[in-house]
Chains A and B, each alone.
Chain A
Amino acid sequence: MAYLTLSNISKQFGDTYAVQDFNLDVEKGEFVSFLGPSGCGKTTTLRMIAGFETPTDGAIALGGADITNKPPNQRKMGMIFQSYALFPNMTVAQNIGFGLRVRKDSKADIQERVREMISLVNLEKHAEKYPYQLSGGQQQRVSLARALAIRPDVLLLDEPLSALDAKIRVSLRAQIREIQRKLGITAIFVTHDQEEALSISDRIVVMYDGNVEQVGTPFEIYNFPTTTFVANFVGSLNTAVAEVTDPAKGLLSVNGVQFSSAAKMDGLQKGDNVRIAIRPERFSFASEVRKANVVDCRIENITFLGSVVRVHMLIGNSSFTMDTFNYPSLELPRIGATEQVTCSREAVLLLEEVRANGHEPKL
């Protein structure tokens, strides 16, 4: 049985659902991210786990015991907020010791634990400072130490890095992950940044509009998205409507250009409309290697993105982009030229079916 279990959780505010029928099992020591755009219900779900909101429906269990209606101050959930939420009237050491003083640990124990936590987050020099004397990154480390000091059952982080600048964000997320691994603590990390989620998580829960879209490892989420939303939200993506021409062989046609896909086409018939997705980095110029799909394209534009070159092209009247590594001997085609590009059958993903009446899939 999983350590933390959310079963059919829903949360209604008035008559709108912030979260609907949310199911998740989290193993002990696992690092799970909730990923999704603004307003999709990430914070609401996290707050239900913390006990700040009560689910309208469903149950939450921790270590086999139901905690759905347990007040937040009896749950032992370490909470990290985007705004740090340090107590301004207390020093770093006092902040970290707060939870221990509240539960009336002995003075010596508190001192020992606080010292341990301070060195865990490398703030030895700042123990006697007040929060306003620290940088954002330092404040968030204090907040992490404060939450970990009480040895929480689960660590909950609500966009803890969003208020920090890019460099600190990357280094602090690595520190958070390292500490989480070292302590073997179960963690749930909320973010709307796909790169953050992909880089830090054991598993990712992609959410959209109050629903779970897909749960999987970063590898699965990125390489095998199951919905248009996930495919679009995680990484950049080419999508196009295609007509099934031979379901048994996996053949499709995008405005007359034939593609072959490794995706299962059970239940699809010749003439059905589907949506295909191809990641830009799965394309390459056919002059180098030739894979299963070789198609003609017209080069529309080329942009340099440092280590990557992004080629915008038209394939059978649909716009596609291709990302290729930048290296000094790379020969780029002229804009307006006709070239051949190639991709494997596995690169052609099949998203959901487009309805016969012409409705686009959501998004």
Chain B
Amino acid sequence: MTVSAAPTQATVKSETARAPVRKNRFWSWLIFVVGALYFLVPLAATFYWSLRAEKDKFGFEAYRRLFADTNFLPSFSESIVNAIAAILISLLIIVPTAYWVTLRLPKLRPVIEFITLLPFVIPAVVLVFGLIRLYSRPPLLLTATYDSSRILLVCVYAALSFPYMFRAVDNGLRAMDVRTLTEAAQSLGASWPTILFRVIFPNLRVALLSGALLTFAIVIGELTIALFMAQHTLGPYMANLTRSKVYEPSAMAIVAFAITWAAMGIIQLIGRGQQGQIAGGH
């Protein structure tokens, strides 16, 4: 270190270096505050509005009415079941695919990545018309009954989750030495299913959870596709609520936010635990 050789220079340098940092900090705080206000003001207003269902009084009347509505809980639970089904389908497709691409077909990665990105590129309205055209006539008639439409919807949701799921799983796979771990397991006698379920899945825990929770957050309130397929899920229910009620939609919005945030919070919590492990390694 040359600090002792030129002490004055060093102090001057550090002072000139500190000033822009302070300035930077001011601007980053300003941007943060503006961003936070942009986000928090509507949220606060919505929350405020949701508490005003009774005249001249703050209270949770709107929430009580919402949960008392006979259509709310069925559509809510239907959406939850759809989300879980979509997550499972997505996992079973994406994890083996991403694993195999990492292990054996690294050249194919850009192609797979592009395919998983398609749901981002195609607007939901276009997607839904395409789907209805394709699946409303034999041999792929799926829109005839409510239940078959629901199966179709779940499959579409699984496809919508691909961008998130693939990225999450891919990151998880990159964080471990997939090839060597696979070979180590093989040399110890493990078959492919054993490797997948005892080695790969457990080490992808965090990645799988974040992929799953992101999928959940998207699917739970999805409107466009559910509406066109005449499904009684949470999305259409909320849209309907907005048209007919005054305070309940606000309460609904807050509930939806709480669920999404809980999902994010869980990702953060689990991610932090895992990070400690990784940081400690090697």
Instruction: Name A residues whose Cβ lies closer than 8 Å to a Cβ of B.
Output: 50-52, 71-79, 81, 83, 85-89, 98-99, 102-103, 130-133, 136, 143, 146-147, 150, 156
Contacts and interface: CB of A to CB of B under 8 A. Distances in A.
B188 A98 contact: yes
B206 to A, nearest CB: 11
A83 B199 CA distance: 16
A132 B281 contact: yes
Given A89-B203, A131-B281, A73 B180 contact: no
A85 B180 contact: yes
Nearest to B190: A102
**Residues of B contacting A: mostly:** helix
B100 to A, nearest CB: 16
Given A50-B187, A131-B281, 10 more contacts: A50-B183, A89-B202, A98-B198, A102-B189, A102-B198, A132-B278, A147-B187, A147-B188, A150-B189, A156-B187
Interface in B99-152: none
A130 B282 CA distance: 12
**Interface footprint category on B:** 20 to 34
B281 A102 contact: no
B248 to A, nearest CB: 45
B181 A76 contact: no
A130 B203 CA distance: 13
A150 B280 contact: no
A102 B187 contact: no
Contact of B203 (A76, A88, A143, A150): A88
Nearest to A139: B282
A98 B187 contact: no
A78 B187 contact: yes
Contacts of A78: 187
Nearest first, the 5 A-B pairs at minimum CB distance are A132-B281, A99-B188, A79-B187, A85-B184, A89-B202
A50 B185 CA distance: 12
A156 B184 CA distance: 11
Nearest to A152: B187
Nearest to B281: A132
Contacts of B189: 73-74, 76, 99, 102-103, 150
B176 interface: yes
Nearest to B177: A83
Contacts of A103: 189
Contacts of B191: 73
A185 to B, nearest CB: 14
A143 to B, nearest CB: 8
